[in-house]
Chains A and B, each alone.
Chain A
């Protein structure tokens, strides 16, 4: 008796919309809070280095002298600690994942110097 119930469920699946998507051609929409990758709004960044210190995977490197902020997306574990601790709230977690790659790369962002900008203009 029980088998017929499941049989009905399984048979019904033939006519329903599939539960899966045709992946490479179709992708599921990412929900708003998805932990994809870390993005830095460099104009706000003050290079304090709190993100570097708090990172459990040592993925973030802040060079104060060169004014660069770099993240290794292949080390990052998307825990979101840096985003929570950022004093200027310039770090955000974006819902899209880092695309696959054949080599590991670091993303280096140049942070503009606000003082330099003022003196030049």
Chain B
């Protein structure tokens, strides 16, 4: 055993889309310990809730992160609705879930492309991002925005999807599913991918439970926790929903869980599109949250459970708004998964937790 060396990793690194810094304690090419650090992109967005009223803050909430934009606006709106006791029309709930699941498809495809790029599978990267573009085009047609959708408001949604657009969504998704299945099968059967990922960055189910892990990272370690299975909103009307889990707990399992979740999301959208109820898409929200009223909420983002908290002070401006993002919860699990791995595998493990640092720091 040689002397331990500390190797700094990040905040700027070719595999990292966002600034995450790790101090890797390395002994003979093996990582023995790791200390994560974030804090390079803190923007103080939670403080801005004081300067905007609760209707206006939704546009700040969705700018927390480009990939989870829909999820953050949805989570924020649901929290304020529970704070003020607003009942959202059924159709609005369905539309929200359809857009949210579409954003999960686009987020996972983006991640799959980045991961493929990280193990040197350039053509896979191109194919994934080509498919993701179709989802963005659907967003553009139905909401008017490609990334920042601005489609949710407190009390409902601002745009409706009519029958022709809904049929288009379903047909585009059918086409996407065919091509995606081919890509997915290639990825999951490819030997070089398996060499790179199988058995790497193992995290046991006990560790995942003890570290309160969330999202696909936890589900790959056989922890069947998915906020969608609480069946709130339109999720309650699904004929069946079971979280996708895997028992292996390594990088390959995480890739597999995310790959299968894309197909699951497509099925959810198709089922909801077929069941879409008629009716209003929004209710009027009047008044202000009461002084000292609090509400909390959890939502399944593409990366896992996200926690929201709001407190009113009697005026239209909220006293406090807070979101705890999935990456913040998974950082501790990532350090455990990194312990004992090869230095060359570090980037693979970090990518498979799909870190979103700008969400975590807000």
Does B associate with A?
A: yes
Interface of A with B (CB < 8 Å)? 1-3, 5-6, 9-10, 19, 31, 33-35, 54, 56-57, 77-81, 84, 93
Q: Are A78 and B150 in contact (CB under 8 A)?
A: yes
Cβ of A1: which chain B residues have Cβ within 8 Å of it?
189
Contact B141 A78, beta carbon cutoff 8 Å = no
Smallest distance from the beta carbon of B189 to chain A beta carbons, Å?
4
> Within 8 Å CB of A80, what residues of B?
144, 150, 158
For residue A78, which residues in chain B have a CB less than 8 angstroms away from its CB? 144-145, 150
Determine the distance from Cα of A33 to Cα of B190 in the docked complex, in whole angstroms. 42
Sample (27) of A-B pairs whose CB atoms are under 8 Å apart: A1-B189, A2-B185, A2-B187, A5-B182, A6-B123, A6-B127, A6-B182, A9-B183, A10-B123, A31-B141, A31-B144, A33-B141, A33-B143, A33-B144, A33-B159, A35-B144, A35-B145, A54-B56, A56-B59, A77-B148, A77-B150, A78-B144, A79-B150, A80-B144, A80-B150, A81-B55, A84-B158
List the A side residues contacting B187 at CB < 8 Å. 2
Q: How far is the CB of A91 from chain B (nearest CB, A)?
A: 14
Residue of B with least CB distance to A34: B144
A56 touches B60 (CB 8 A): yes
Which residues of chain B come closer than 8 Å to A19, judged between CB atoms? 130, 133
B174 at the interface (CB under 8 A from A): no
Closest to B140 in A: A31
Check: B322 CB closer than 8 A to any chain A CB. Answer: no
Q: Does B107 contact A (CB under 8 A)?
A: no
Instruction: Assess the A6–B144 pair: CB atoms within 8 A.
Output: no
Majority secondary structure of chain B interface residues (helix, strand, loop or mixed): helix
Q: Which residue of B lies closest to A30 (CB)?
A: B140
Asked whether any CB of chain A lies closer than 8 Å to the CB of B310, the reply is no
A6 to B144, CA, bound (A): 33
Measured CB to CB, the closest approach of chain B to A84, in angstroms, equals: 6
Q: Indicate if the CB atoms of B189 and A2 lie closer than 8 Å.
A: yes
Interface residue B177 (Cβ < 8 Å from any Cβ of A) = no
Pairs A-B, 10 closest by C-beta atoms: A56-B56, A35-B144, A2-B189, A2-B186, A6-B186, A79-B150, A31-B141, A33-B144, A56-B59, A79-B59
Q: What A residues does B127 contact at CB under 8 A?
A: 6, 9-10
Q: How far is the CA of A3 from the CA of B174 in the complex (A)?
A: 23
Give bound CA distance, A57 to B57, whole Å: 10
- Chain A's nearest CB lies how many Å from the CB of B272? 21
B52 located at the interface, meaning its Cβ lies under 8 Å from any Cβ of chain A in the complex: yes
Q: Size class of B's contact patch?
A: 20 to 34
**Are A6 and B133 in contact (CB-based, < 8 A)?**
no
Q: Does B68 contact A (CB under 8 A)?
A: no
Once the chains are docked, how many angstroms separate the CA of A27 from the CA of B148? 21
Taking CB atoms, residues of chain B closer than 8 Å to A2 are: 185-190
| Distance in Å: Cβ of A26 to nearest Cβ of chain B | 16
A81 CA to B57 CA in the complex, in Å? 12
Whether a CB of chain A sits under 8 angstroms from the CB of B321 is: no
B contact residues around A6 at 8 Å (CB): 123-124, 127, 182-183, 186
B352 on interface, CB distance cutoff 8 Å: no
Cβ of A35 and Cβ of B186 under 8 Å apart? no
How far is it, in angstroms, between the C-alpha of A78 and the C-alpha of B59 when the chains are bound? 10
Residue of A nearest to B121 (CB): A6
B142 on the A face (CB < 8 A): yes
- Shortest Cβ distance from B151 into A: residue: A80
Q: Are B144 and A93 interface neighbours, CB within 8 A?
A: yes
**B179 contacts partner chain A, Cβ-Cβ < 8 Å:** yes
A88 to chain B, nearest CB (A): 19
Give which listed residue, B57, B130, B142, contacts A33 with CB less than 8 A: B142
Query: In the bound complex, what is the Cα–Cα distance between A19 and B124 (angstroms)?
Result: 15
Which of B57, B123, B140, B182 is close to A34, meaning CB atoms less than 8 Å apart? B140
Shortest Cβ gap from A113 to chain B (Å): 31
Which one of B55, B141, B186 has the greatest number of beta carbons of chain A within 10 Å? B186
Closest chain-B Cβ to A57's Cβ sits at a distance in Å of 8
- Binary CB contact string for chain B from 166 to 210 against chain A (1 if under 8 A, 0 otherwise): 000000000000010011011111100000000000000000000
Which residue of chain B has its CB nearest to the CB of A93?
A: B144
Complex contact A9–B144 (CB within 8 A)? no
A residues in contact with B148, CB < 8 Å:
77
Q: Distance in Å from the Cβ of B125 to the closest Cβ of chain A?
A: 11
A55 to B268, CA, bound (A): 35
Min Cβ gap A22→B in Å is 16
B43-60 contact mask (Cβ, 8 Å, vs A): 1 or 0: 000000000100111011
Bound Cα distance A34, B182 (Å): 32
